[in-house]
Amino acid sequence: MKLQTLALAVLVAFAGSALAQAPSPKDQVKADKEQVKQDRAKMKADRKAGDKAAVQADKEKVKADKAKLKADRKAAREAAKAAKEGKK
């Protein structure tokens, strides 16, 4: 009997920590927006310094981050829609 209780406690502990670490879609979108902002600031500094290769690399990074932001926004919208439909 105590073995089952111990096993259940371990499962609950691991499941709780796994759920707590999963970021919500809205948080992910905010993080992506912040990353794009940082990339643009870095690109601006590289332009000012005259480093054309770094500017080009920064442009590619901004492009990739924007694509990730777009995908995360779509996922957040779908999650909100699913939650709304789930309430009905």
pLDDT tens digit sequence for 31-41: 999 999 999 99
Q: Is residue 58 part of a domain?
A: yes
* Number of domains into which the chain is organized: 1
Q: Is residue 7 part of a domain?
A: no
Q: Is residue 5 part of a domain?
A: no
Q: Is residue 42 part of a domain?
A: yes
Which residues constitute the domain of residue 43?
24-87
Q: What is the pTM for the complete model shown?
A: 0.65
Give the pLDDT confidence score for residue 17 in this predicted structure. Answer: 58
Q: Is residue 63 part of a domain?
A: yes
Collapse the DSSP code of 82 into the 3-class scheme (helix H, G, I; strand E, B; otherwise coil) and give the result: helix
Q: Is residue 31 part of a domain?
A: yes
Q: Is residue 19 part of a domain?
A: no
Q: Is residue 33 part of a domain?
A: yes
Within the chain, which residues score under 50 in pLDDT?
A: none
Output DSSP code: residue 50.
Answer: T
CB atoms within 10 A of CB 37: 12
